[in-house]
Amino acid sequence: MAGGFVSQTPGVRNYNYKLTPKVFVTCFIGAFGGLIFGYDLGISGGVTQMKPFLKKFFPDVRKKMQSAHQDEYCRFDSQLLTLFTSSLYLAALVSSLFASTITRLFGRKWSMFLGGFTFFVGSAFNGFAQNIAMLLVGRILLGFGVGFANQSVPVYLSEMAPPNLRGAFNNGFQVAIIFGIVVATIINYFTAQLEGNIGWRISLGLACVPAMMIMIGALILPDTPNSLIERGFTEEAKKMLQSIRGTNEVDEEFQDLVDASEESKQVKHPWKNIMLPRYRPQLIMTCFIPFFQQLTGINVITFYAPVLFQTLGFGSKASLLSAMVTGIIELLCTFVSVFTVDRFGRRVLFLQGGIQMLISQIAIGVMIGVKYGTVGTGSIGKSDANLIVALICIYVAGFAWSWGPLGWLVPSEISPLEIRSAAQAINVAVNMFFTFLVAQLFLTMLCHMKFGLFFFFAVFVFIMTIFIYLMLPETKNVPIEEMNRVWKAHWFWGRFIPDEVVGVSAAEMQQKSV
Ligand code: BGC
């Protein structure tokens, strides 16, 4: 039968280890990498609503917002303003490609450090911006920072974590992202009330705080055993493995890492090799998972929740407050994933979250459609508006324990060492490209597709849920260097994995797993 539904995940090993304070603290600090991404995601939407900011940099947009527009759907449509938000993601896309080489050759921690550093410089440009040029240079530097951090941090966490808790540890990255978003929305809420230019300057300038946290964090962090072996520091790698696993008996895991590294040495050009048929499952997943993650439509909420709430007739303060509430719900619900992802597995969360998002999106589309119709005039009563906010929260909760964290976890854990950095760079690049597209096009889409926009995203959520059901095998508890066995046992992907990679034929693997 189709589906890669295996009753027993192949490749599961029972390595010897304890949950040490060292691995816990290391991953905690490593996860800081998500803060810069989150802070930026959360800060831009609010800043672009601040009148002094608009007056200084985008006076035309401000005039348009002031004029009593007939069509509520189009009130905030401005390409220039959205370019401010989305330029960062193009920069992140480019830098993630360079980051993969640094991550591979110099280790994961130096990519993290560079990420923090460029983000730090970018925050200074933005906080002190005198003109649009400074603002854009700042955005691009911030983007470089995000690209480096997003390329290296998920891989770092997945490699450090003990295999059967990899999901929980890796989800720390998403927790940090959302924490960054929530802190940013809270800061915006207060700075929006300040007179003059100081408000937006504080909001943008404070990005230096998470930047410093990741810089300092990266300096004190050790590198992963996988990366140490990859770079020829075999002795150090063994000691590192012993200290993070809390036992000297790490021979089996260590040997698996060394074998993986030996195999990866045959591969000279990760970028060329990832195109080979034997890496087809990883290539397809690292392209489709980030694509689908963005096509859930989550960033419509992340970037534009305040705008969306204003479109629904909320006052500007109430809109910022509602955006804060959705952020806090997202944060809390991400912990559901942290605590269940290694027990129930990735597939269950993906499928449940997908169905929840689908139902709530359809309901939101129907409600907005009924109230505003296609003309975009009309108004929403208080109770209906509250119902829409509640539906948005249900949608956000579904994302928070599925596509949010898993969109970073799964791509970081499915690739063998020889293509891991390249695969993660593709993941970040695709993610950033579609983050850019959604950020850039949402307000225009809202203006033209009106409430149909929610159905547009719902169609994608439907497709992605089917995709996961059929194509994604379960990866919980499987050591990261044993992942080939999982692909080999899958009803569809098995044919791409050569027998010698896992030492058995696809038929045997599938027999073992059903
Ligand atoms: C996504 C972002 C999103 C964030 C918060 C992340 O996993 O990659 O695009 O803004 O979650 O929802």
Cα 144 to ligand 1 centre (Å): 17
pLDDT value of residue 314: 73
**Closest residue (by CA) to atom 7 of ligand 1?**
404
Domain of residue 35 covers: 21-223+267-499
Cα 404 to ligand 1 centre (Å): 6
- d(CA 440, CA 436) in angstroms, rounded, equals 6
Ligand 1 shell residues, CB under 6 Å: 41, 174, 177-178, 181, 293, 298-299, 302, 404, 407-408, 431, 435
pLDDT value of residue 272: 86
pLDDT value of residue 305: 74
Q: Which atom of ligand 1 is nearest to the CA of 396?
A: 12
Cα 459 to ligand 1 centre (Å): 19
Q: Considering only CA atoms, give the Rg of the chain.
A: 23
Does residue 245 fall inside a structural domain?
no
Provide the 3-class DSSP secondary structure of residue 3: coil
Does residue 240 fall inside a structural domain?
no
> CATH number for the domain including 94?
1.20.1250.20
Cα 298 to ligand 1 centre (Å): 7
Does residue 254 fall inside a structural domain?
no
Reading the block at residue 133, the tokens are: 């040029």
- Residue written as tokens 């290391």? 26
CA distances from 459 to 113, 296, 351, 397, 402 (A): 39, 9, 15, 19, 17
Task: Give the residues of the chain that fall short of pLDDT 70.
Answer: 1-14, 16, 65-78, 267, 307, 311, 373-380, 503-514
φ/ψ of residue 465, rounded to 5: -70, -40
Q: Which atom of ligand 1 is nearest to the CA of 330?
A: 12
Does residue 12 fall inside a structural domain?
no
First to last CA, the chain: 10
Of 88, 177, 178, best ligand 1 pocket probe by most atoms within 8 Å of the beta carbon: 177
Does residue 134 fall inside a structural domain?
yes
**Closest residue (by CA) to atom 11 of ligand 1?**
404
Instruction: Give the predicted TM-score (pTM) of the model.
Output: 0.87
**CB 30 within 8 Å of CB 159:** no
Cα 299 to ligand 1 centre (Å): 7
For 336, residues 6+ apart whose C-beta sits below 8 A from its C-beta are: 400, 401
Does residue 241 fall inside a structural domain?
no
Among 226, 211, 92, 87, smallest CA distance to 148 is for: 92
DSSP letters for 199-257: HHHHHHHTTHHHHHHHHHHHHHPPPPHHHHHHTT-HHHHHHHHHHHHTSS--HHHHHHH
Of 35, 93, 293, best ligand 1 pocket probe by most atoms within 8 Å of the beta carbon: 293
Does residue 161 fall inside a structural domain?
yes
Helix (H) or strand (E) holding 394: helix 382-400
Provide the 3-class DSSP secondary structure of residue 165: helix
Instruction: Please give the tally of structural domains in the chain.
Output: 1
pLDDT value of residue 18: 77
pLDDT value of residue 507: 55
**Closest residue (by CA) to atom 2 of ligand 1?**
299
Does residue 185 fall inside a structural domain?
yes
Q: Which atom of ligand 1 is nearest to the CA of 298?
A: 12
Cα 3 to ligand 1 centre (Å): 27
